[in-house]
A and B are shown apart, each in its own frame.
Chain A
Amino acid sequence: MTYWAVNAVFLGLVAVTAAAALLLHRLRARGRASSGARDRTEVVRAAGLTTVVLLVMTAVFDNVMIGVGLVGYDEARISGAKLGVAPLEDFAYSVAALVLLPSVWTLLGGRRPAREPSLERPARRAGPARPAQPAAGPEESR
């Protein structure tokens, strides 16, 4: 069995997970107001940016890892297509991560919404109410 054949099996599993996540996302969205095409464009743009950055980073660290001899390959089982010294097949791990992890995150989403990513410093948003906000009543000081 070649490296590509193994990758095809695992990428297939990733695709199934992604399909389940997409279906669940649609079902959940049905009850709410439509998120709109603009929101969708933002999601697609973010996914594109994430993909480009991760693949470039993979090319860098995979080349370093193989270059210093952390891992070796049986030349008979890889296609021979390489980016530097990194077999193209290795990028399947990153592609899988890009699809699988956000899918699992979505599948795990429940009633409680996750906190949103923020530029705000952690000290200002998390934990007990700051004593510097005397206006906050006891009800709000969570």
Chain B
Amino acid sequence: MGAAYLVALLISLAGMAALDRRFTLFFWRDGWRAAVTLLVGVAFFLVWDVVGIDLGIFFRGETSFMTGVQLAPELPLEEVFFLVLLCWLTMNLHSGARLALGVLAARREGARA
């Protein structure tokens, strides 16, 4: 019974929120739209997980890093937080890449002028 993995996920999620707020990446662009997008993503990946677990493709490891709380057989509580992190990271990267490339392009234009 440990919380190391859950704590690591929560710290990473706090990082996602900080970046999101600082650069207006996902929730700070449009809160409702982000919330629904994230919910759809997490639900989709949870179904994928359950199918994989049902078919015996993957299973929860026996480790002391997890709380041991299971939402379904072989589906640890931590998986939900992991999926939220995966989805938020993807959308932050998506907005962040456009922002970064846009800023670089603008600088190049500025240097040429």
Contact = CB atoms under 8 A, between A and B. Distances in A.
Interface of A: 1-3, 6, 10, 13, 42-43, 45-47, 49-50, 53-54, 57, 68-74, 77-78, 93-94, 96-98, 100-102, 104-105, 108-109, 112, 114-122, 125-126
Contacts of A94: 86, 90
A122 B41 contact: no
Interface of B: 5, 21-25, 28-30, 33-34, 36-38, 40-41, 44-45, 48, 51-52, 55-63, 65-66, 78, 86-87, 89-91, 93-103, 105
19 contacts: A6-B55, A42-B98, A50-B93, A53-B97, A54-B90, A68-B65, A69-B61, A73-B59, A74-B56, A93-B48, A97-B90, A100-B44, A105-B34, A114-B29, A115-B24, A117-B98, A117-B99, A121-B22, A122-B21
Contacts of A13: 44
A94 B28 CA distance: 23
Nearest to A48: B97
By DSSP majority rule, is chain B's interface helix, strand, loop, or mixed? helix
A8 to B, nearest CB: 12
Contacts of A93: 45, 48, 86
B99 A119 contact: yes
B47 to A, nearest CB: 8
Q: Is the interface of A mostly helix, strand, loop or mixed?
A: helix
A101 B93 CA distance: 11
